[in-house]
Structure 1
Amino acid sequence: MTDAVNALPGATSTGKSPGQRRRRYDASGRRAAAEQTRIRILDAARLAFLADGYRTTTIAAIARAAEVAPDTVYATIGRKPELFATLIELALSGTSAPVVGADRDYAVRMRAEPDVRERLRIYAGAVTELQGRLAPLFLVLREAAAAEIELRELWQQITRRRAQNMRVLAGELAAAGGMRTDLSVDEVADIIWTMNSSEYYAMLVAERGWTPDRFREWIFDAWCRLLLA
């Protein structure tokens, strides 16, 4: 039988013609569909968490809103704590995938800027844009962390990471020159850490009705007055 197959015109030992052997499976369509499903799930989850809070929101409700099965939510992203943590990381990064702080666009631009005042301007803009995404979710996280141990751990992790990042930033600002000499690096870090927080943004923008533009100009002006020589 093998000899008979090999005797066919254009056949090979695999039983496939050269044209058939050259074909390759194209997975791009499947990957694109999977990414669209992921985006739908994340969008549905964000809306649900902001509208109903963490404890009330269920995976089943998120799945219905995203028009997928609950098992698809678990397989695509994970359990509810993992889903919420993903939303936090994407809000921090401002992209479709998590990006560490040092590699984010504004951090790269700040390191390339020699003037410390302009660094503060870049950072004020970045904080305003970031908190527009993050602050609503972070307030949900703060409330849920009191009762949910996994979210309490997430809250503590983010808080520690912010504090560490602010000390790195304060050190870089001090190295650039032009900062007040009567403030230590730790004091500079604590001042910025307080004013770039979700709570500070929410108090002024959500509760007092400031526009994001006003908030951006305020923290830039305040940091210049408080930190620069």
Structure 2
Amino acid sequence: MFCTLLVMGDEVKRSYRPGKRAEKAAATQAAILAAAREQFTSRGYAATTVADIAGAAGVNVDTLYATVGRKPVLLLAVIDMTLADEDHPVVAEQRDYVRATLAAPTARLKLTTYATALGRVMPRVAPLFDALAQAALSDPDCAALRDSIGQRRRANMVKLAADLRSTGQVRDDLTDDEVADLLWTTNAPEYYVLTVARGWSPATYGERLADLWTRLLLAESS
């Protein structure tokens, strides 16, 4: 009986400790990314040091590097976290609003779902893209990251264009590449910033973006 209890105790430790370690690692990552987002947004990329972020997150610099990576990688992780509206980075295909957009039965509903989601996330993500754009002027790594994100956004819009086409409701005189280009340019953070300057609220931005897309991309009968 005593030996059995020892074995059971060992099994509990083996199954329990990895879970606790994973929880601690996730909490550390979340703290680092939250601190990085606040620092990048309020101070800008160039003025923010890795030590600043580590201090705000309550960790040392070595832990930050081991958990997330170098400063450009950190910014990308913050952007992916913010776009997903989560406390950790999420790739595009796994974001809730992307899944909802793809699952929507009509092209109009797909565009409305996506535009509404952008209205929620753009107020938080646009300042990060602005910080990246400013840093890209003097930092080659940031310039490469900016270009990479732009290409990734374009590739995602190609996928969305194909999904819209599958509904049979997209204008016949537009190619999928043209549909992707129109989506890509009008969902850019720079476009959102211009609408804010004109006094639009995030909700108004989302509503008018959906209206723009449906008028511009869909056949009249849709």
Bin the TM-score by the shorter chain. Answer: 0.7 to 0.9
Distance of 1:64 and 1:46 partners within structure 2: 13
Aligned to 1:56: 47
Q: Deviations over 1:42-91 (max 9, x none)?
A: 11111111121111111111122122222221222222222112112212
**Is 2:206 the counterpart of 1:216?**
yes
Distance of 2:47 and 2:100 partners within structure 1: 41
Unmatched runs of 5 consecutive residues or more in structure 2 = none
Aligned to 1:105: 96
Q: 1:66 aligns with which of 53, 57, 72?
A: 57
Larger deviation: 210-219 or 185-194?
185-194
Distance of 1:212 and 1:161 partners within structure 2: 24
Distance change (3 Å), C-alpha of 1:147 and 1:191: same
Q: Deviations over 1:85-120 (max 9, x none)?
A: 211221233334433323332232233322211111
Distance change (3 Å), C-alpha of 1:34 and 1:174: closer
Within-5 A mapping of 1:150-165:
150-165=141-156
Given that 2:45 and 2:135 are in contact with CA atoms closer than 8 Å, whether structure 1 keeps it comes out as yes
Distance change (3 Å), C-alpha of 1:98 and 1:49: closer
Q: Higher relative contact order by CA 8 Å / sep ≥ 6: 1 or 2?
A: 2
Instruction: Tell me the CA shift for residue 219 of structure 1.
Output: 0.6
Larger deviation: 43-52 or 85-94?
85-94
SS in 2 for 1:176: coil
Aligned-pair Cα RMSD in Å: 1.9
**Is 2:11 the counterpart of 1:21?**
no
Q: 2:167 aligns with which of 168, 171, 176?
A: 176
Distance change (3 Å), C-alpha of 1:196 and 1:62: same
Unmatched runs of 5 consecutive residues or more in structure 1 = 1-9, 12-16
Larger deviation: 215-224 or 182-191?
182-191
Distance of 1:147 and 1:53 partners within structure 2: 13
| TM-score between both structures, scaled by the size of structure 1 | 0.85
Aligned residue pair count:
214
| TM-score between both structures, scaled by the size of structure 2 | 0.87
**Is 2:76 the counterpart of 1:90?**
no
